[in-house]
């Protein structure tokens, strides 16, 4: 039986880290992820874990310390947000290129500038192609569950890639929800002991980590990273099956909410899915066949599976909580429409950028998106595929 608790998303993440009991945690505080290392440092202080907690002088140093620890053969974790992730940028790429399965809790926040401490997905989207596996979490329960699964995915010998678990800053990180924790011993058994094959402190196999990698080999090494990301798809599903056996909670690449018979659908990630589910239920009560595809796994991107899931829709809207500033649609929209095109599924699609800098996402906004989709189905026309909602117009207060 699971343990019923009431925790914020940050406390849930820290609790997962306590149960995992990593060898090293290196972190630097930044809003809204500060509470995660704060809670975890308490666990270190009271002896709940035997983790080496490294208090560093910056986020760049935090990721550097995790890289050093993981390369030496230790299991390493960290947490950050927004500008902290930006300061890690160089080391984010180094961690993935060295095939080090570091796990990071990323509490999503707007990246400066101007300075803003509230939620959008610009931090995650900025490193979406850096070679990290990326899992998104609708609520506190999913943030906790994703972290429990993270090491089994990242450390798989066919993967060996770092992994970040994303949740929405303040919206879930600071909101208290009822969640179900797993017993400590079950988590310990599920996660297992980290036993890397190659590491710096193995005196039987002297190796170099991070050498110069020029024209003769870098291309091949990048191709190997890409292959590992492809391998991660099956590993993610396998780990989810094992997790379901332990908890009864089922996870896949995405959740299909009332999508089986829907005619219009929204695609989104993280906490917006909860609001969208409410709107779907409201529209269903009126006889409108609305549905939702909530993406959980963003990297590797499950293109074929998404195309199949959306193939029977009459119109879809893809919601991006970050603007790519490219005049041609944002990241999730581009990935979804590319998936549809490559897999020969042709469904009218529109992109909505929303929620920038923590702008409230209201049920009325989501309902208006579904109204727009109904109009597209009715007229067969998309006047402008690149849209906003929740944006104040000139003259609005």
pLDDT in tens, the chain (397 residues): 689 999 999 999 999 999 999 999 999 999 999 999 999 999 999 999 999 999 999 999 999 999 999 999 999 999 999 999 999 999 999 999 999 999 999 999 999 999 999 999 999 999 999 999 999 999 999 999 999 999 999 999 999 999 999 999 999 999 999 999 999 999 999 999 999 999 999 999 999 999 899 999 999 999 999 999 999 999 999 999 999 999 999 999 999 999 999 999 999 999 999 999 999 999 999 999 999 999 999 999 999 999 999 999 999 999 999 999 999 999 999 999 999 999 999 999 999 999 999 999 999 999 999 999 999 999 999 999 999 999 998 767 6
Q: How many domains does the chain have?
A: 2
Given 247, 265, 283, which residue is the final one in a domain?
247
Closest to 209 measured CA to CA, from 93, 91, 97, 98: 98
Same domain, 270 and 192: no
Spatial neighbors of 36 by CB under 8 A, at least 6 apart, are: 10, 13, 14, 17, 27, 79, 105, 107
Report how far apart, in Å, the C-alpha atoms of 389 and of each of 164, 259, 378 are. Answer: 28, 23, 21
Nearest 5°: CA angle at 172, between 397 and 253? 110
Same domain, 97 and 165: yes
**Contact criterion met (CB below 8 Å) for 251 and 304:** no
Same domain, 345 and 362: yes
pTM for this model (two decimals): 0.98
Same domain, 354 and 329: yes
Question: Which value, to the nearest 10 degrees, does the dihedral of the CA atoms of residues 91, 122, 117, 166 take?
Answer: -70
Look up the domain containing 314 and give its range.
Answer: 254-388
Given 247, 279, 308, which residue is the final one in a domain?
247
DSSP state of 111: P
Neighbours of 256 (CB within 10 A): 15
**Contact criterion met (CB below 8 Å) for 16 and 147:** yes
Same domain, 219 and 269: no
């Amino acid at each position: 039986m699971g343990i019923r608790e009431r925790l914020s998303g940050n406390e849930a993440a820290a609790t997962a880290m306590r149960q995992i009991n990593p060898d090293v945690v290196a972190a630097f505080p930044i809003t809204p992820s500060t509470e995660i290392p704060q809670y975890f440092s308490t666990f270190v202080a009271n002896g709940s874990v035997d983790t080496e907690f490294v208090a560093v002088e910056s986020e760049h140093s935090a990721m550097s310390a995790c890289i050093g620890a993981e390369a030496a053969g230790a299991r390493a974790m960290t947490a950050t947000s927004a500008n902290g992730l930006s300061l890690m940028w160089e080391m984010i790429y180094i961690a993935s290129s060295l095939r080090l399965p570091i796990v990071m809790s990323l509490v999503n926040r707007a990246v400066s500038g101007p300075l803003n401490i509230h939620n959008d997905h610009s931090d995650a989207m900025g490193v979406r192609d850096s070679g990290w596996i990326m899992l998104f979490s609708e609520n506190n329960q999913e943030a906790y569950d994703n972290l429990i699964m993270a090491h089994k995915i990242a450390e798989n010998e066919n993967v060996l890639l770092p992994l970040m678990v994303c949740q929405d800053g303040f919206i879930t990180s600071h909101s208290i929800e009822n969640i179900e924790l797993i017993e400590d011993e079950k988590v310990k058994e599920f996660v297992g002991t980290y036993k890397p094959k190659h590491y710096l402190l193995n005196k039987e196999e002297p190796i170099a980590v991070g050498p110069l990698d020029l024209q003769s080999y870098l291309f091949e090494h990048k191709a190997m990273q890409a292959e590992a990301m492809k391998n991660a798809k099956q590993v993610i599903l396998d780990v989810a099956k094992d997790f379901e056996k332990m908890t009864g909670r089922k996870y896949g690449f995405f959740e299909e909410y009332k999508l089986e018979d829907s005619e219009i659908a929204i695609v989104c990630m993280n906490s917006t899915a909860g609001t969208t589910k409410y709107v779907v239920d409201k529209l269903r009560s009126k006889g409108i066949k609305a549905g939702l595809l909530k993406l959980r796994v963003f990297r590797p991107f499950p293109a074929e599976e998404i195309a199949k899931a959306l193939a029977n829709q009459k119109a879809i809207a893809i919601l991006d909580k970050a603007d790519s500033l490219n005049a041609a649609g944002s990241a999730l929209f581009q990935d979804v429409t590319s998936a549809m095109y490559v897999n020969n599924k042709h469904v009218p699609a529109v992109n909505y950028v929303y929620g920038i800098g923590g702008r409230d996402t209201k049920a009325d906004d989501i309902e208006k998106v579904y109204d727009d989709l109904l109009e597209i189905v009715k007229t067969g026309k998309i006047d402008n595929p690149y849209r906003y909602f929740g944006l104040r117009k000139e003259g609005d207060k």
